[in-house]
Structure 1
Amino acid sequence: MTRRKGADVIAQSLIDERIPYVFGICGHGNVGMLDALYERGDEIKLISPRHEQIAGHMADAYFRVAHRPVATLTSCGPGSANLPMSLACAQADSSAFLAITANVPTSQWNRAPFQEAYQHYQADFPSVVRPFVKRSFQPSRVDMLPTALRQSMNLMTTGRPGPVNLDVPYNVFQEEDDVADTGPVPQRSVTRTGADAAVVEDITRLLLDAERPLLFIGHGVTLSEASTELTALVDRLEVPVVMSPNGMGTLDMTHELSLGFIGRNGTYAANQAGRRCDVLLTLGARFDDRSSSSWVPGYSWNMPPTKLVQVDIDPAELGRNYQPHIGVAADVRTVLRQLLGELERSEQVAVARARSGKWRQDIAGWRREWEEHIAPAFTDESSPMRPERVVKAVQDVMPEDGILVCDSGQHHNWFMQFWKARRPQQMLNTWGYSAMGFGVSGVLGAKLARPESPAVAVVGDGGFTMTPSVLATAVEYDIPAVWVVWNNYAWGAIRDLQHGSFGGREIGTSFLRGGEPYNPDFAALARSYGVGGIRVSKPGELSAALEEAIAANRPFVIDAEVDGHVPPTSVGTWELPPLPRPEPKFGAPWQP
């Protein structure tokens, strides 16, 4: 037993858990924890951005790239109240970090001291974040910290990952108690649950007997690190694949059987395959409204008659939106290995591949139709740039190991539709909660997680102006991230919605001054921070600027003028009742 301050107990636990960073913002409530981090600065590094939301998005993106959590540190009251946006973003996309928040001293609970939330319960910040974390712990004594920390570390990364909150009263950072010396934490074992053998046989039989089999992959494949097994299954059965954005890259998207994203702004071949498949094996995907055309039959899916096999680590996702023919609560990689083992023993694989040959021919035809439709835009040299040309320029320049971090906005629709991720954990999206600021801020965490890889954020002009202080953090800590600002002078995605559903009327969505488009000069803004800055309006200029930015190996902003009046080509739908749902602009829904 050693007598230690609470803050020292927390710092030691973070170090023992091999957590390399704390992304933290100072405040009177957490000065005791800051002092402990000062003492251990050679073992764990504090990085202090200029806003708490930024800290949370950095931690979220770090986990998505490294699959190891880091911690955030915020003060009581407003400091921690800035964190729920990034906690919600991480929770919705199954990403983990430890959010250490400060609170008022226990001796002052329920007396309304400075920055206490006390309306319904004393020191009630945990209720603020309750919807967005797997668990909130509030140890009120130093001797409670070791248990809360151990449980927090275990909970974050087991099962479906997610953020955990450790809410620490001011005095607990500073007070001392006798705490056991546990030493370094052993490597945590990961339990990878599988499916019952009989169920694996049933799934295998369904796949082998299918005439039109299809795989739908989501973030669960990424988190399970099952890219190798997924690719082996695709090649073994020659089964096509559609995906949600957080699953992109787990199968190299240049693979001939990768059909891309499914949903309103997906590809034509992906939606055609979803509408017509007879057996669908879904791996770690949620069937959210955007990848399911709001669950309207005929647009992206038809279940039934399609037989759904759904595998997910979270039992709550099984049957949430479609009743599975077979539902399996298990680890995706384990189930894939089980299926591969079963297929190795089967003598029907060649027969099954022959049976689905016509299906692959149909898919190839749909792919050709789609590529012929979209091809002209990818050679358009107009200025401001067409959105397709921006995607192409980034795709052409980005090296294979580069990390793309997308923010929420109109630009994300285009990257979902056309981006081809080559590897897992290299296309990061704010998908479930769609938080503006994730891409702007998260690129810093992504670069810290994999310093050897270029990290490029594509962000909207609206989203970038929410958290531009990321540039100061990049300079202070020498983080050579690149931002491509999609400058279309609007909240473009919402302006498109207004135009489509309200007769062309718009209000509050275009950025105007005296009736003319207005934005700051983002390149000049970047230079004022000490960041490289270039403004471009032509496709060739963008390619050259991005090459320069990546080669510079310093923080860099590219202000890219994009035509904001070119809406994405929808191939599904997205329904917002009671507004009438829009019909696809290419292709047509199919009713069974």
Structure 2
Amino acid sequence: MSHKIKMRAADAFLVGLKQLGIDYIFGNIGTEYPPVVESLARFATKDEIGKTVPIPYAIPHENVTGHMGVGYYLSTGKTQCVMVHTGVGTANAMVSMINANRAQVPMIVVAGLAPGTENYDRTSKPGFIHWAQQMYDQGAMVREIVKWDYVITSDNVGELDLILKRAYTMANSNPKGVVYITFDPTALERDIEFPKILIPEVTPSKAFPDQTTIAEAATILASAKKPLVITGGTTKDPKIMEVLKKFAEAHSIGVAQHKPRTMHFPFNHELNVCVADPSFIVNEADCLLVLETDVPYIPVKGGISEDCKLIQIAPDTSFQRYPRNGFPYQLKITADVAEGVVALDGAMPKTSDSLKKERKDWISDLKERNVTKRLSQIEGIESGSKITYPWISHCIAELCKEDDDIILVREFSLDLDWMQNSDTQSYFGEPNAGGLGWGAGSTLGVALGQPDKVALLATGDGCYYFGVPAAAHSVSRTRDIPYITVIYNNGHWGTVAMFTDNWYPEMKGTNNHPMTDLGPYHDFENIVTAFGGVGIKVEKPNELLDALRRAVKEVKENRKQVVLNVIV
């Protein structure tokens, strides 16, 4: 047992977080945090911020706060800590918590409770808000979207070390996710015994696949003429790319990535079939090997053939936290993704040259059709007067070819089939939960984790609103974290209009979609200038690539954040 020393509980909380490997606390705190603020002040006077305790960042809005934790995890792989204010701050943070939990981001979210006493001592309710702010069960509001929640009280704070270790273990056990700790502010004033060195609990071992089921999967794949691997990039593990490349190359199997959260396969690999949506090609496949992907394809867009066999490899093959997930799998292999692929590769017989050629010919045909379609989308655009979505994606791809310092952060609008990235750290995509506003905070976190790179967020005007731009640009300026925002500005909720057209085809082309119009094309480029940044409006196709180059230069040479307001 580690030697324990006497210390204030608030001090122990902060020291414990640092010893668990947490670099930063991204916080939007409130009136229940005086013990934490006082503790940080004392650590600051001793020059121990960032050494003994994490570095605290004050973030002006909880949506940015939580998503900075997501982005920093994506860049570094480290567990995150976010602090918010009682139930109201938790409510503002819930979109980020939903996104983080579905994206398997290990994150400890901390929120205080409203003061419990009315006229007992100096810690009693000091403001008129503290009566209405108090909740019967604050944890109930997040219980469906977190893995674990717990309340720190004066009765249990003496075992704060065990509580923190439990929180860390729950956040990092596969599938990883969000945990939620609430605290009674008076508990943090208590003196407690706390380990001099806080050692995390033993992390559960990876899940290894059942060999009998692996042998069945190998038999199915070995005879398939048109097999596809489909991955959504949920698990952040660089080993997956390494083993998946080896597996795909050994057996000439194509890989399709369905709007991936992280990169599991190089976008520029000869066996990479698509990175946008495989729904339109799965009907040609006779076997799908699905790697921890909740939605391998969208059935209403394009289903599989009756003879196609589906195999899933994932730590949780049934997605038990989802109300529905009805894809018709023949085999479900419970395993760590990388270990599952390694085991399957080991069980596969050598693929004949003739079968490899047949598979490669099909893959080449798929890729050629994809390229032809994309090139047709930009034909004549450069010399025209109107910027299109494909043209923006094309120009961003050209920029990335010129500068390998770019990290792409996608929030809905960027067409990934244009991209040629091959480094696992050069791309991150929006979580599958679809909580808008993910992009700004996550890009800040990504840039903070990789300060020698240039983070570029591709987003829509609707998403830009949800990202709380004033808060995000404030953090960028205050903390010197410059990044680029490219706004695909179409002036309306394009996705809502598109889905309405799918339901009611007669509405297509009418431009009559009530409650989707966001007004005139607003001058979003002016917002960032209030925070010392550079704003650029782009209205002509032939101006876009140069504007992107200028943006990169502003970040690299002048440490300026940049917003490109691209009128679509």
Provide TM-score, normalisation by structure 2. Answer: 0.87
Q: Which structure 2 residues correspond to residues 572-591 of structure 1 after superposition, within 5 A?
A: none
Distance, in Å, in 2 between the alignment partners of 1:108 and 1:87 is: 32
The alignment partner of 2:89 has SS state of helix
Distance, in Å, in 2 between the alignment partners of 1:473 and 1:365 is: 47
Contact 2:411–2:460 (Cα < 8 Å) also in 1: yes
Aligned-residue offset at 1:315: 4.2
Q: Deviations over 1:334-367 (max 9, x none)?
A: 1122223334xxxx4142x522533432332233
Which position in structure 1 is the counterpart of 2:214?
Answer: 200
Which position in structure 2 is the counterpart of 1:329?
Answer: 334
Distance, in Å, in 2 between the alignment partners of 1:487 and 1:538 is: 13
Distance, in Å, in 2 between the alignment partners of 1:133 and 1:361 is: 45
Aligned-residue offset at 1:385: 1.0
Which position in structure 2 is the counterpart of 1:589?
Answer: none
Which position in structure 1 is the counterpart of 2:245?
Answer: 231
Aligned-residue offset at 1:271: 4.0
Aligned-residue offset at 1:190: 5.7
Which position in structure 1 is the counterpart of 2:513?
Answer: 506
Structure 1 portions without partners, runs of 5+:
564-592
Distance, in Å, in 2 between the alignment partners of 1:538 and 1:41 is: 48
Q: Deviations over 1:241-277 (max 9, x none)?
A: 1112225532111111111136xxx2xxx44541122
Contact 1:213–1:356 (Cα < 8 Å) also in 2: no
Which position in structure 2 is the counterpart of 1:317?
Answer: 319
AA aligned to 1:496 is M
AA aligned to 2:460 is G
Q: Which structure 2 residues correspond to residues 162-311 of structure 1 after superposition, within 5 A?
A: 162-173=177-188, 175-185=189-199, 189=203, 191-223=205-237, 225-246=239-260, 249-261=263-275, 266=277, 270-271=278-279, 273-287=281-295, 291-293=296-298, 295-296=299-300, 299-302=302-305, 304-311=306-313
1:187–1:137 distance in 2 versus 1, CA, 3 Å: closer
Which position in structure 1 is the counterpart of 2:375?
Answer: 375
AA aligned to 1:407 is E
AA aligned to 1:244 is H
Aligned-residue offset at 1:221: 5.0
Deviates more, 1:41-50 or 1:126-135: 41-50
AA aligned to 1:195 is P
CA-atom RMSD in angstroms: 2.6
Which position in structure 2 is the counterpart of 1:404?
Answer: 408
Aligned-residue offset at 1:387: 1.0
Contact 1:384–1:561 (Cα < 8 Å) also in 2: no
Aligned-residue offset at 1:84: 0.8
Distance, in Å, in 2 between the alignment partners of 1:369 and 1:245 is: 19
The alignment partner of 1:310 has SS state of strand
Aligned-residue offset at 1:535: 1.6
Find 2:149's aligned residue among 124, 133, 136: 136
Q: Does 1:76 align with 2:86?
A: yes
The alignment partner of 2:32 has SS state of helix
Q: Which structure 2 residues correspond to residues 88-103 of structure 1 after superposition, within 5 A?
A: 88-103=98-113
1:463–1:522 distance in 2 versus 1, CA, 3 Å: same
Q: Deviations over 1:82-121 (max 9, x none)?
A: 1111101111222221111111235569x998446789x7
Distance, in Å, in 2 between the alignment partners of 1:221 and 1:163 is: 14
Aligned-residue offset at 1:225: 3.7
1:405–1:376 distance in 2 versus 1, CA, 3 Å: same
Q: Which structure 2 residues correspond to residues 44-83 of structure 1 after superposition, within 5 A?
A: 44-83=54-93
Contact 1:249–1:420 (Cα < 8 Å) also in 2: no
Distance, in Å, in 1 between the alignment partners of 2:453 and 2:131 is: 43
Distance, in Å, in 2 between the alignment partners of 1:354 and 1:32 is: 70
Q: Does 1:25 align with 2:28?
A: yes
1:59–1:335 distance in 2 versus 1, CA, 3 Å: same
Contact 2:146–2:180 (Cα < 8 Å) also in 1: yes
Provide TM-score, normalisation by structure 1. Answer: 0.84
Distance, in Å, in 1 between the alignment partners of 2:477 and 2:417 is: 33
Which position in structure 1 is the counterpart of 2:161?
Answer: 146
Structure 2 portions without partners, runs of 5+:
none
AA aligned to 2:390 is E
Distance, in Å, in 2 between the alignment partners of 1:53 and 1:421 is: 28
1:341–1:247 distance in 2 versus 1, CA, 3 Å: farther
Distance, in Å, in 2 between the alignment partners of 1:16 and 1:431 is: 29
